A = this chain, B = another copy of it.
Amino acid sequence: MRLAVDAMGGDFGPRATVRGSIEALAALPELEVLLYGARDQLEAQLGSLPRSCRNADIPERVTIVDAPLRLPDTLSPSRALRLPSLSSGSSLHAALQAVVDGRADGCVSAGATGVLMALARQQLGMIAGLSRPAISTAIPARGPGRCYLLDLGANVDTRPTHLLQFARIGAEMARAVDGVACPRVALLNVAVEPGRGERRIREADELLRRQHHAAFDYRGFVEGDGLFGGAIDVAVCDGMVGNIALKSGEALIELLVERLSACFQHSWRSRLASLLARPALSRFRREFDPVRYNGASLLGLQRTVVKSHGSADAHGFGWAIRRAHHEIAGQLSAGLAAALATGAAG
């Protein structure tokens, strides 16, 4: 399996993407990576890695492809599409093109979501029946669980039929990547009783109840507190709702960790406690670090594209690569095409 990595995107560029790629290569022996970016920068990063990262066969599994242009952060998606002369020389465009040409099985980028989505859609094309990708990520849940939340902002002003598509897409994600035989799918709403809440959600609920879904187990409505309970595998919502829930949740975790540290600096006793508690606290941080769940999938494209958080460090970027790997290994794109074709016929 070969992944094309846009090594110039994100807040840290090659500093995060190169090392993140090496971490993923160490964990996934059958993976190869094509790094698209400024050759000198990428070579410098590779050369500066600690010896532990350079052992074994890893260097043989990395290929640098010179594509020095980093798309400006201020570029709008529509300008990126209108000015192919600008975008076509970029590391992102080149990485996506490797997927189009069959030189790679999928693409990972930490570039801006809007531009990534626009170019991916233009270069790779959508699965029949879909007009725009949905964005999804896995959020932590009780038990060993996780829950896929979608859409996360690619689609606002959605109609009931879109929510129905998201249900199919999310179910296929849980099946292909996590091996859940019959994923439990719910619609996010302000109440659990049928007939309550937003009109489009009530209509989507009717659509979901009316049809028989062999591919998943439709559980009706779930409220916001049900996201982390471990009782569902997929939570479906409009992009506005998912985007606000995800971003506010991330910021809340950050605030909590900050305040927790402050509490531990309060007295000599708590400072002593924090010394002793260091392993416990770092275990806690590790578990809730957003990078653990880093990697938002652009779903509905003909091929796998994963967006890493712009602020992700090397470790976070490595997780995004693993996510792309799992999606390709689970043949998610083909599964989605099949699921949506069945849905359209059903």
Contact = CB atoms under 8 A, between A and B. Distances in A.
Contacts of A226: 251
A89 interface: no
A289 to B, nearest CB: 12
B252 A253 contact: yes
A111 interface: no
A240 interface: yes
B279 A250 contact: no
A190 B153 contact: yes
B266 A283 contact: yes
Interface string A257-289: 001100110110110111011011101100110
Contact of A224 (B140, B243, B255): B243
B227 A251 contact: yes
A223 B241 contact: no
Given A190-B243, A198-B157, A248 B277 contact: no
B269 A284 contact: no
B243 A245 contact: no
Contacts of A201: 240
A237 to B, nearest CB: 7
Contact of A269 (B252, B263, B276): B276
A252 B240 contact: no
A199 B279 contact: no
A247 interface: yes
A180 interface: no
A214 interface: no
B198 A156 contact: yes
A229 B251 contact: yes
A269 B281 CA distance: 12
Nearest to A244: B224
- Most chain B CB within 10 A, of A156, A244, A259, A274, is at A244
Contacts of A251: 224-229
Interface string A190-212: 10000001110100000000000
B253 A280 contact: no
Nearest to A152: B190
A240 B190 contact: yes
Given A153-B190, A276-B276, 15 more contacts: A156-B197, A156-B199, A189-B240, A224-B243, A224-B245, A224-B249, A228-B252, A229-B251, A244-B245, A252-B253, A259-B288, A263-B284, A270-B276, A270-B279, A273-B280
List 9 A-B pairs, minimum CB-CB distance, nearest first: A224-B247, A273-B276, A273-B277, A224-B248, A225-B251, A270-B280, A224-B244, A263-B280, A190-B243
13 contacts: A157-B199, A189-B240, A225-B248, A228-B252, A228-B255, A244-B245, A259-B284, A260-B260, A263-B281, A263-B283, A267-B279, A269-B279, A277-B277
Interface of A: 140, 142, 153, 156-157, 188-190, 197-199, 201, 223-229, 237, 239-241, 243-256, 259-260, 263-264, 266-267, 269-270, 272-274, 276-277, 279-281, 283-284, 287-288
